[in-house]
Chain A
Amino acid sequence: MTSGIDELLSSNSVEARRHSLVTKVTGEFSKGLTLVAVIVIVLMLAVILANIFYHGAGTISWDFLSSPPEQGMESGGIFPAIFGTVALVILMVIFVVPIGVLTAIYLQEYTRPDSKITRLIRVAVANLAGIPSIVFGLFGLGFFIGFIGSGMDSMFYDDSSPVWGQPAIIWAAATLSLLTLPVVIISTEEALRTIPNDIKEASYALGATKLQTIMRIILPQSMPGILTGGILAVSRGAGEVAPIMFTGAAYYLPYLPSKLNDQFMELGYHIYVMATQSPDIEATKPILYGTVLVLLILTFLLNIVAILIRSKMRSARGYAG
C-alpha cells in the first residue's frame, strides 16, 4: 500500500517535471513568436523612415522651404504648399476645437453617461471617426460647395460665375474639421474625466454656478487635454488628402491663398500630384522625397508634442492609463 503511493508519487513527479518542461518550451515559444511580430513592425517603420530621411534630407534647404515650384515641379521649392497646409489647418482648428470641446463638456458635465442622448452622440462620434476620408470629400463637394456655397451665391450674388460655390480653402477646412472632430472630443473628454470631483464640489460649495464652474475651474484644468486634442487634429488634418482633393486643393497656383474662397496648394496633395502625374519621375524624385520628409517631420513633431503633453498630464494627476 505504502509502496503504491510512493510509486504514484514518483511517477507523478516525473510527469510533472516533463509537463513543466513542455510548459516552459511552449511559454518561451509563444513569447518569442509574438516578439518577432513586434520586431517586424518596428523594422518596417524604421525602413520607411530611414528611406525617406536618407533620400529627402539632401533636398531640404532654406531655398527649398521658401521658394515656389518651378519647371513643372521638377525644381524650385514647396513654399506655397507649406503656406497652404498651415492656413488650412489653422482654419480647421478654428472650426473644430470650440465644437469639439463644447461637445465633450456637454457629454461629461451636463448629461448622465447612460442617458439616451449621450449614447446617441457617442455612437455618432465613433462612427464619424470610422467614415472613409474619401466619403468626407464627397460630402464636402455635395454639401459645402454644392449646397451651402451655391446657396450663398444664388442668395447674395447676381452674376453667374460662382463666388462661394466652388472649391475653396474654407470648404476644405470645414470638411477636415468634421473628420477631426472625434479626435478633439475624445481627447477633451479624457482630460475632463481626470478632473477630481473635489475641485468641482469645492467650486459649487462656494456658490459658483455650473457655468461659472465650467468656465473658471473645469476648462482651465483640462487645457492640456484640449491642447493635445487640437494638436492631434492638426497632425491628422495636415496629412489627409482625400477630403481636400475636390473641396479646395489645387495642382499648382501662381499665388498664395489670401481669401477664404481661394484655392490652395497643400503638402499631401502636392506629394500625390508629383508622384503620380509627373512626366519625369526620376527628375522629380529629390523634390518629391524632400516634400515627403517635410510633411512627415511636421506630423511627427506634432504627434510627439501631443504625446508628451498627454503623458505629463497623466502623471501629474497620478492617472495610470
Chain B
Amino acid sequence: MEYNFKPKSKLKEFLGEKFIAVNAYVALIAILLIFIFIFKEAVPIFTDAEIQEEVTLEKMVNKQKYYEGRPAKYSWQPVSEIPKYSLLPLFIGTVKAAIIAMLFATPLAVGAAIYTSEFAPKRLREFIKPIIELLAGIPSVVLGFFALIVLATVIQNLLGLTFRLNALTAGIALGLAVIPIVFTVAEDALSSVPGTLREAAMAVGATPWQVSLTMVLPAAMPGISAGIVLGFGRAIGETMIVLMASGNAAVISWSITDSIRTFSATIAAELAEVVFGSAHYSVLFFIGSLLFVFTFIINLGGDIILSRLKTRLQGRTQ
C-alpha cells in the first residue's frame, strides 16, 4: 500500500495568513481614514485665507455683530447675504434633544433591564429580549416618520403647543432609539454579576430582591452607567429622527417645546446644496469632526468602563 502525502505548501500558508491579516486591518484603517478625511475638509477654516474671510473658529464660537446698529448675537444662517456660522444654537439643540431622550429612555431601559435580569421568570425573559431586539431593528427613518406623522400631533394636542415639531417630540422619538442600547448593556452587566456573589448574600439570609438591589445592582452599576453613556453617544449622533421631527429651527432657547436644529440634522439638511470646497462645506465637515471626536471619546469611555467591570467581576482580564 502506498501513501501519497501531498507536500504542504509553505508559501500557500504564508500568503493565506497574510491575506487574512490584511483584511483584519480594514476596520483599523477605516477609522484612520474617516478621521483623516473628515478633518481634511474642515482644515481650510484654519488655513485658507479666502475661507477665513467668511468663517473662522472665533466666528463659530463667539457672539458676532453682523449689522451696524444692531446688537451682536449668536446666529446660524449659512445661506444669507452675510453668512452666519455660530455653532451655539446647534449645540444647544443637540444637547437638548439628547438630554430629553436620555431622561425618557434611561428609567425605562434600566428598569426593564433590572426586571429582565433579576425578577423575570425564564420564559418571560426569553420574550423580552427579542422584543427589545425588534425595537432596535426599527430603522431610524421609520421612527422619524412615526414622530413626524403621529407623535407630533399627539404631543401638540396633549400640551396645546404652537409648534408641531419641537425638542420634546424629537427627544422622545430619539429615546426610542436609545432604549435598546441602554437596555442591552445594562442587562448584560447585571447578568454578568457572578452567581457566587448572589449565593453568598442569600446564605447570610438576604431575600432575593435584597440580593438584587443591594448586591447585584451596585456591583453592576459601572456597566449600567456605561450603557447610559453609550446611549448618550447614540443620541448625539442620530440623524434621521431629529432631521424629521425636530422642526430644524436654529434658535437659542432652553424651552423643550421650541423647535431645535441639531449638528447631525444640519449636516444632513445642508450638505446636498452646498458648493464643494466652500466655507459652508468646510463648516459642515467641521461639525462632522466634532461629532466624530465626541462620539469617539464617549465610546472609548464606555468600552473602558465595561472592560474594567468585566475584569473586576470575573477576577481576570479578557
> Shortest beta-carbon distance, A139 to chain B, in Å?
5
Closest CB in chain B relative to A109 CB, distance in Å: 8
Chain B residues with CB below 8 A from A239, complex form: 137-142
- Is B239 in contact with A288, judged by CB distance below 8 angstroms? no
B33 CB to closest chain A CB (Å) equals 6
| Residues of B contacting A269 in the complex (Cβ-Cβ under 8 angstroms) | 141
Interface residue A233 (Cβ < 8 Å from any Cβ of B): no
- Given known contacts A296-B138, A299-B138, A131 and B296 CB-to-CB distance under 8 angstroms: yes
Docked complex: A89-122 residues within 8 A CB-CB of B = 98-99, 102-103, 105-107, 110, 113-114, 120-121
Q: Which residues on A sit within 8 Å (CB–CB) of B141?
A: 239, 241, 268-269, 271-272, 295
In the complex, B288 has a CB within 8 A of chain A: yes
Q: Which residues of B contact A124 (CB under 8 A)?
A: 27-28, 30-31
**Known contacts A124-B31, A132-B238, A181-B27: does B300 contact A303 (CB below 8 Å)?**
no
Q: Which of B26, B139, B288 contacts A103 (CB 8 A)?
A: B26
**Least CB separation from A268: chain B residue:** B141
* Residues of B within 8 A of A (CB-CB), count: 94
Task: Please state if B268 and A242 are interface contacts (CB–CB under 8 Å).
Answer: yes
CB-CB under 8 A from B302, the residues of chain A are 130
Partner-binding segment picked from B52-60, B84-92, B203-211, B252-260: B203-211
Collect the chain A residues with CB atoms within 8 Å of residue B212's CB: 30
The docked-state distance in angstroms from the alpha carbon of A203 to that of B234 is 44
Contact, CB under 8 Å: B145 / A242: no
> Is residue B38 contacting chain A, with contact meaning CB distance below 8 A?
yes
Query: Closest Cβ of chain B: how far from A189's Cβ, in Å?
Result: 11
- Interface core residue of A35, A131, A134, A240 (most chain B CB under 10 Å): A134
Q: How far is the CA of A191 from the CA of B173 in the complex (A)?
A: 34
Main secondary structure of the interface of B (DSSP, over half): helix
Contact of A45 among B30, B135, B238 (CB under 8 A): B135
Q: How far, in angstroms, from A2 to B234 measured CA to CA in the complex?
A: 67
Residues of chain B within 8 A of A24, CB atoms compared: 207
Does A248 make an interface contact (CB < 8 A)?
no
Judge if B298 is at the interface, Cβ distance under 8 Å: yes
Residue among A38, A207, A210, A292 with most chain B CB within 10 A: A38
Contact residues in B for A202 (Cβ distance below 8 Å): none
Pick the contact of B137: A52, A105, A288, A303 (CB < 8 A). A303
What is the bound-complex CA distance between A94 and B255, given in angstroms?
Answer: 47
With a cutoff of 8 Å between Cβ atoms, the chain B residues found around residue A103 in the complex are 23-24, 26-27
Instruction: Name the residue among B20, B25, B132 with the largest chain A CB count within 10 angstroms.
Output: B20
Q: Could you show 24 A-B contacts with beta carbons less than 8 Å apart?
A: A26-B209, A27-B208, A34-B112, A34-B114, A37-B108, A98-B23, A103-B23, A121-B25, A121-B27, A128-B27, A130-B302, A131-B295, A132-B238, A134-B264, A135-B295, A142-B285, A181-B30, A239-B142, A272-B145, A272-B240, A288-B145, A292-B142, A292-B145, A299-B137
Residues of A within 8 A of B (CB): 23-24, 26-27, 30-31, 33-38, 40-42, 44-45, 48, 51-52, 98-99, 102-103, 105-107, 110, 113-114, 120-121, 123-139, 141-143, 146-147, 178, 181-182, 185, 207, 209-211, 214, 235, 238-242, 245-246, 268-269, 271-272, 275-276, 285, 288, 292, 295-296, 299-300, 303, 307
